[in-house]
Amino acid sequence: MSEIKIDLVPIPTRILTDKDNIIDVVERYTKGKIGPDDVISVAESVVAITQGRAIRPENLKITRVAQLCCRFIPDYGSLASPHGMQSLMDVEGKWRVAGALVMGFLGKLVGMNGLFYKWGGEQTALIDDVTGTMPPFDKHIVYGPKDPDKVVEQLKQRLGCFGGLIADVNDLKRSRVVGASAGLDGERAARLLIDNPFGNASQKTPIVIIKNFRKLQEQGQ
C-alpha cells in the first residue's frame, strides 16, 4: 500500500466580519485550490464571527455568581475571567453553569473528569475569551458557531470537495471537532491540524485545505 501524501494548505484572507457570508468567502478564497479528494477546514471562531456571535465584554452585566465561579477555572481557560464566565451564563443559564461546576469538582474527587463541560452546555467548551482570536476581535468574547454541521454540509456541496470541517484548534496542541460533514472522519482530520496551521493572531489564515484526505480515509491509514 503506497503512502499517501497529505498536505495542509493554509489560505490567507482579509479580516472577516459579520458582514461576510462564510460560504461565499471560503469559495472565493479557495477557488482553483481545492479538489474532490480534499477537506475544507475552517476555524470555529471565524465561522462564529461571520454569524455575528461576538460581544464586547463591557456590554456584559457581571453577576456575583460569575465572579465566584470563574475562580475555579484554570487561568489559561476562556472561562477564567468574570466576563468569560458571564458570557457562558448568559446563553446556558446561570444556575446550570454553577451546578455543572460543582458537579465537575465533585466528579474529579472520584476520578470522573470533564463533567463540567458535559453538563454546563454546548458553549462551555466553545467560548473564546478576549485575546482568544485574531484582531480586531481579540477585544471580543466569541461564542461557538451556530449550526456547525449545517455549515460544513453547505461548504462541501458548494466546493465539491470530499468533506467539510469546523475545528477548534489552539497553540496548546488542542484540536477538536465542532462540525463535520457526513461520511468524514472528523477526529482524524482534526488530528492533522494539531499544530494549528490556522494561527490565532495576525496570520489571518482561518481556512486550511487538507489535501488528499479522501485517499487517507479510504485506506484507513
CATH number at residue 35: 3.30.1330.100
Confidence check: pLDDT of 1 > 60: no
Question: Angle 22-30/148-159 helices, nearest 10 degrees?
Answer: 40
Domain range for 35 is 7-53+144-219
Same domain, 74 and 46: no
**CA distances in angstroms from 108 to 56, 78, 146, 212, listed in the order given:** 33, 20, 30, 41
Domain count of the chain?
2
What pTM was computed for the model?
Answer: 0.85
d(C-alpha 19, C-alpha 155), whole Å:
18
At 113-142, the pLDDT tens digits run: 889 999 999 899 888 877 556 667 777 899
* Among 86, 79, 16, 78, CA closest to 57: 86
Same domain, 74 and 123: yes
Q: Has residue 135 been placed in a domain? A: no
At 163-220, the pLDDT tens digits run: 999 999 877 778 889 999 999 999 999 999 988 888 655 557 899 999 999 999 988 7
Q: Has residue 1 been placed in a domain? A: no
- Tell me the average pLDDT of the chain: 90
Q: Has residue 87 been placed in a domain? A: yes
Q: Has residue 126 been placed in a domain? A: yes
37, 213 contact by CB (below 8 A):
yes
Give the three-state DSSP class for 16. coil
Same domain, 214 and 105: no
What percent of the chain clears pLDDT 90, i.e. is strictly above it? 69
* Among 157, 107, 98, 136, CA closest to 14: 136
